[in-house]
Chain A
C-alpha cells in the first residue's frame, strides 16, 4: 500500500528525517473565520446564508481520491480541518520534522474587497490556530486575486513576514498564465519577503475552461490531464523571462507530479534552439533555468509499479535537488513510499525526503 500508514512501516522503509511539503488542510466552516473578519463581511455572509467557498470542484468530498478512507472522521468533522487530525495522521505517525500546510481556500475571483478580507482572515486563522499550535508546522499564504496582483502583493507584504509562512499558494488555474507581466508585482513581493511561490492544483481560472478544447466531462478525465495546466505555466514563466527578471525567485510545483518534467523540458530545450532569438533573455537551456528556480513535489507520483522505470525518469531530471517529498494529505493517489525510496539512488534519499525542502523553504534542522 501507498503511504506509510504506521510508524513502524515508515521507519522500516525510511529511517531518516522527513519534511512533508504538501499537507492539504481545510477551513472547517466559514464561521471559523468570523473572529478574523470585520462585521460587515460577517453580516454579508449571514444575510446571504453563504456556506463559504466550495472545494467540491477539485475535491468531491465522497471520492476516495479526495480523502483517504482511514482519514475520514466518524463524527462528521471536515477531514484535515484541525491540528489534532494532522498531528495524529501525519506529524506523529510519520515523525515528520516539518509539514507545510496548503489550504486550498478558493477566494480568487469574486468581489475584490471581499476576496481580500477572506484571504486576510484565513491567513490570520492559519497563524493563530495552526502555526502557533505546533512548532513543526509551516504554511502557505492564501492570496486574493489572482486577477488582482496588487492585492496579492499587498497580502504577501502584510502576512508574509509573520513567523511560519514560507510560501504563497498560487492556484495553477490562474486565468492568466503566471509568466504574464501583470504578475511581476507578485514575484517582486515574494523575492522581497524571501518566500517560495507554490503553484498548486486549484483556482477558478477566471471562468475559463481548463483546456483549449472546453470543459472535460468526467472528474477522472480532468484529473488525469491536469498535467497540461502545469506544463503551460512552466512554459509561460520561462518564455516570458520571469526568472531573469527575478533572479532570486523560488517556485514549487505542488500536486503536479514530476514524471512529465523531463520530456516536457527536452521539448522546451529543443525549440529554444530554434526560436531563442524571440526570447533573448533565455540565455541558457530552459531545463538548466528550471533547475535553479523550480522544485517539484513527489505527489502524485504516478510511478507505475516498477522502481527501475521511475528511477529512469528521476535520472533524467538531471539533478538530485529537484524533488521534495509530499504526502498530499489527505488525498489518495495510491502513492507508495516503498516505490519512491526504491527508485532513488542511496545518495538522493535524504535529499528528496527532507534536505531539498529544508533548503528551498529555509527550514532549520528540526522543528521541535
Chain B
C-alpha cells in the first residue's frame, strides 16, 4: 500500500477536513526486544554491565515519567509507550489518518561505553525497526540510527540499510555530538547520506545524559532541561554552516527535529551581520550564511508554537514564510511523549488551507519523496 491510500481520521476536525498528515517524528521503544537483534557478546555485556548512563543529575531530577511518555500510551498488555506497533498504529496513524510516520528511536549510548556496543545498539535498532515495524504497517517509515563516534561504521550502516529498504527515509544524528556537528570528523556520515539521497535529521538521541546539558554546565530541573532543547539549535547550525559542510556537500539536506523555528529569523540576522564584520576569518565560505540556512534546512512543528497572544502565531509564521521558509516547516507529533501534538489541535485552524496542507503533509512529502494523499 502506498502512503495514505486508506487512511481516514477517526473523526473530523473543523478546518482540517480531508488533510492526511505525514508525521516526521514518532518514537518507538524496542525495550527488551532489542536483545533479539544483538549478538550474544553484547547481549551478555548488557546483562553484566548495562548501558552505563552517567548519573549526572538524572536520578534526582523528576522527569515526566519514564521516557517522558504520555500515560495512556502504555499498551493494553503493559510495557512502554511505543513498544507495541499495533497500539501505536491505533493511537497515532488511525486516530489522525496519518499516511506516513517517521520513526526515530532514541537509543544511543555513546561516549562512555565501548564503541563496539554503541554500534551494535544502533545496528540492532535499525534491524528491529525494519523487521518489526515495517512488517506491522506499511505507513511506518524509519530513520537510520548512526553512531557519530564511529563515522566510517555509520557510513557503511547507511549504505546497508538503504540497500535493505526504501522505507528508511532519513539518517539520524544526535544533537549532542562530542564535537560540534559540522566538524570534518563527521563528514563521512554526510557523504553517505548524500550518496544515498537521504536527508540527515538531528534529534536528541540519548547522549544528553552523558554531556553537560547547557554550555554553562548542568541544569537542575526537568523544566529547564526540557525547555532548553532549542538552545542546541544555534551552535549546531552555526557549526554546520561555518565549517563549510554545505560547500563540501551541496546536495545535503538537514532536518532539525524538535528544535522549533522561531529562532531562525533572528539567527539569519545575526549570522549575516557577523559575516559582514568577520568574514576575513573565513574567506573560503562561498555565500552569505543565511543562504545556506534557507537552502539546506528543514524544521518540524512539535512542540507547537504557543505564543502569549493568538495573533502572534500568525505574525511569527508569516515572518518565517516571508524570510524564505514557507516550504520548510513539517508536522511532527512526538508520539508517545507527554507533550505530543495532535496535527489538528496544535496549529490555528484559521491558517490558510494551503499553509495547513503544506505544514501537515506537503512539505514532508516533497522532502521525503512520499506520495501525498489529500482528499478534497
Contacts and interface: CB of A to CB of B under 8 A. Distances in A.
Interface of A: 63-65, 172-177, 179-180, 205-206, 208-225, 227-229, 231-233, 235-236, 239-240, 257, 259-260, 262-264, 266-276, 278-279, 285, 287, 300-304, 309, 312-313, 316, 318, 332-334
B307 A212 contact: no
B17 to A, nearest CB: 27
Given A213-B235, A232-B216, A227 B223 contact: no
A302 B224 contact: no
Contact of A65 (B176, B231, B278): B278
B346 to A, nearest CB: 11
A220 B220 contact: no
A266 B216 contact: no
Contacts of A217: 180, 182-183, 239, 242-243
B228 interface: yes
B308 A266 contact: yes
A208 B46 CA distance: 31
**A-B pairs with the 7 shortest C-beta distances?**
A263-B262, A259-B266, A232-B214, A221-B242, A302-B269, A225-B235, A225-B234
B297 to A, nearest CB: 15
Contacts of A332: 277
A206 B208 CA distance: 20
Contact of A236 (B181, B224, B303, B312): B224
Interface of B: 62, 64, 175-183, 208, 211-224, 226-228, 230-239, 241-243, 260, 262-263, 265-282, 289, 303-308, 312, 315-316, 319, 338-339
Contact of B215 (A228, A302, A303, A318): A228
A233 to B, nearest CB: 7
A266 B306 contact: yes
Contacts of A215: 179-180
Q: Identify which of B269, B303, B316, B319 gathers the most chain A CB atoms within 10 Å of its CB.
A: B269
A283 to B, nearest CB: 14
Contacts of A218: 242-243, 281-282
A310 to B, nearest CB: 8
A239 B281 CA distance: 38
Contact of A275 (B64, B233, B237): B64
A5 B115 CA distance: 57
A309 B218 CA distance: 35
